[in-house]
Copies of this chain bind each other. A is one copy, B any other.
Amino acid sequence: MTPNFRSDNIATVHPDILRAIAEVNQGPAAAYGDDDYSALMNRKFSAFFGTDVVVFPVSTGTAANALSLAGCARPYGGIYCHQEAHIHTAEGGATEAYTGGAKLIPLPGADYKLAPDTLAEALRHAERGVRNRPQPDAVSITQASEYGTVYGLDDIAAIGAAAREAGIVFHMDGARFANALATLGCEPGEMTWRRGVDILSFGCTKNGGMNADAIVVFDPALAEPLSYHLRRAGQTWSKMRYAAAQLMAYIEDGLLLRLAGQANGLATRLGRELAALPGVELVAPVQANLVFLRLPQDAIDKLAEAGVRFARRRGGIIRLVTRFDGSQDDVDRMVALTRAALARAPFGG
């Protein structure tokens, strides 16, 4: 079978997570998160993060991001982010819609990450009190980023400090939270609230879950309004135990890290081997489970014709995504196919 690197959301559900769903399927349970499983989930996540958190399962990462921000940004607020942030480029205006029209303020940044200095400078020029300008309300970073790069702990801390000083909320889009965590090798709390993160979109679906991501609230003041936004968004499941089961199994015994580690390992190898081919260039360092490459247009077309699945970006760039349920074989086949595509394309590009 030709390799499929289209995305990590084409993956299966990990058997442990399926099993956890089956295990909670007994007898009645209160609805909308008032059940015992949800209470247990909150305790387990609090232990996982090393602080009291409130967890709101949601059905997609878009919902996690947009509703996190709806809970903390005013309709006339401004939300700072990297110009490649998913909330800005690939969520169909969800944040604008759920906030009632808040403004995303996209900023440039090397390696597709928002630099603390860039943020701090933007905040200095924020024109507070000027009625026709967005008023600073939040900053959002994506960890790992949309290009698979990972913010270091110092950068997160510096962004957290800038946010605190400006009095704005610090949101982390953790669609690939586990992939970043596996790379940094630190405690979950170290990568989040201890560095100033107030609210987190906690990804599970891409890395072995079925259909449950979560909003994890570190700043308790944010939880109450958020609960209303979620309900009226149609994002509060009635049978919440089946979300709680997924999320608990996901963090149980380090499952999330094992799965992320497998995906990251495949990406590392894939990036290294492909970048070693003449005519292939890494667009961003491989630090999670995403590999971005620039290669001749002709070779890209050849790979697509060969049945390889991947996403294209402008300028001869492709994105390859590895998964927890991918294989070394996929990597080997991809390297071979790319070598062949390049060979057949001596004048390509």
Contacts and interface: CB of A to CB of B under 8 A. Distances in A.
Interface of A: 4, 6-7, 9-13, 18, 21-22, 25-32, 58-67, 74-76, 89-94, 96-98, 100-103, 125, 131-135, 205-206, 210-211, 225, 227-239, 242-243, 314, 323
Given A9-B31, A92-B228, A239-B9, A66 B100 contact: no
A341 to B, nearest CB: 21
Contact of A239 (B25, B30, B63, B211): B211
Q: How many copies does the complex hold?
A: 4
Given A6-B30, A228-B76, A131 B93 contact: no
Contact of A131 (B75, B133, B236): B236
Most chain B CB inside 10 Å of its own CB: which residue of A59, A60, A63, A236: A59
A64 B233 CA distance: 10
A91 B125 CA distance: 17
Contacts of A28: 4, 6, 10-12, 323
A172 B12 CA distance: 34
Given A90-B132, A232-B91, A243 B211 contact: yes
Pick the most buried of A75, A91, A210: most chain B CB atoms within 10 A of its CB: A75
Given A25-B18, A232-B62, A206 B94 contact: no
12 contacts: A4-B28, A9-B32, A10-B28, A21-B21, A21-B210, A62-B232, A62-B234, A75-B100, A92-B231, A94-B101, A205-B239, A211-B242
Contact of A25 (B12, B31, B60, B125): B12
Given A25-B13, A225-B74, A235-B234, A97 B100 contact: yes
B131 A228 contact: yes
A80 to B, nearest CB: 15
Nearest to A314: B125
From A29, A58, A76, A133, residue with most partner B Cβ within 10 Å: A76
A156 to B, nearest CB: 25
A109 B135 CA distance: 26
A308 to B, nearest CB: 12
A89 B103 CA distance: 10
Given A22-B18, A76-B232, A92 B239 contact: no
A286 to B, nearest CB: 21
B13 A232 contact: no
Report the 4 A-B pairs with minimum CB-CB distance, sorted nearest first. A63-B234, A97-B101, A9-B238, A92-B232
Contacts of A206: 238
B94 A103 contact: no
A32 B131 CA distance: 9
Contacts of A31: 6-7, 9-10
Nearest to A88: B103
A89 to B, nearest CB: 8
Nearest to A1: B27
A5 to B, nearest CB: 10
B211 A64 contact: no
A93 B64 contact: no
B205 A238 contact: yes
